[in-house]
Amino acid sequence: MDVVTVVIVSFGIAIISVGSLWYVLKGTEEIEMADDKSKVGEQDRSRVSAEEDYEVQYVAKEAGISVEMARELIKQYGPDRHKVMEAAKRS
């Protein structure tokens, strides 16, 4: 389970951390989101994002499949790197 941290910076602005993702909110409108690359560990290594090109390229290279196929497998099997790699081996 991810730890959620909320920091109120000033009236109407909040910074929210969920796992390794950071959100900056103004009022009820999301204005910025960034993946904190400095926070890596087993949980981060066990997951893969179809939205991060470098992660998709890594999976494709490791599995010997195309980037497009890797992206489709991530969307089909979710962010679990082990499941995606197992599916890639069967492809």
List, for residues 34-91, the tens digit of each pLDDT value. Answer: 455 555 555 567 888 888 888 899 899 999 999 999 999 999 999 999 999 999 988 7
Tell me the residue ranges of DSSP E strands in 1-91. 4-10, 13-18, 21-26, 29-35
| Residue in 20, 73, 77, 83 with CA at minimum distance from that of residue 46 | 83
Domain span at residue 62 reads 46-90
* pTM as predicted: 0.53
Write down the pLDDT at residue 30. Answer: 46
Instruction: Please tell me whether residues 52 and 81 are part of one structural domain.
Output: yes
Q: Collapse the DSSP code of 24 into the 3-class scheme (helix H, G, I; strand E, B; otherwise coil) and give the result.
A: strand
Q: How large is the average pLDDT for residues 24-36?
A: 55
Write down the pLDDT at residue 32. Answer: 45
| Residue in 55, 49, 44, 79 with CA at minimum distance from that of residue 87 | 79
In a domain, 41, yes or no: no
Q: Answer positive or negative: Cα dihedral of 35, 59, 44, 82.
A: positive
Instruction: Please tell me whether residues 54 and 85 are part of one structural domain.
Output: yes
Instruction: Please tell me whether residues 75 and 56 are part of one structural domain.
Output: yes
Instruction: Please tell me whether residues 53 and 74 are part of one structural domain.
Output: yes
Domain count, the chain: 2
Write down the pLDDT at residue 74. Answer: 92
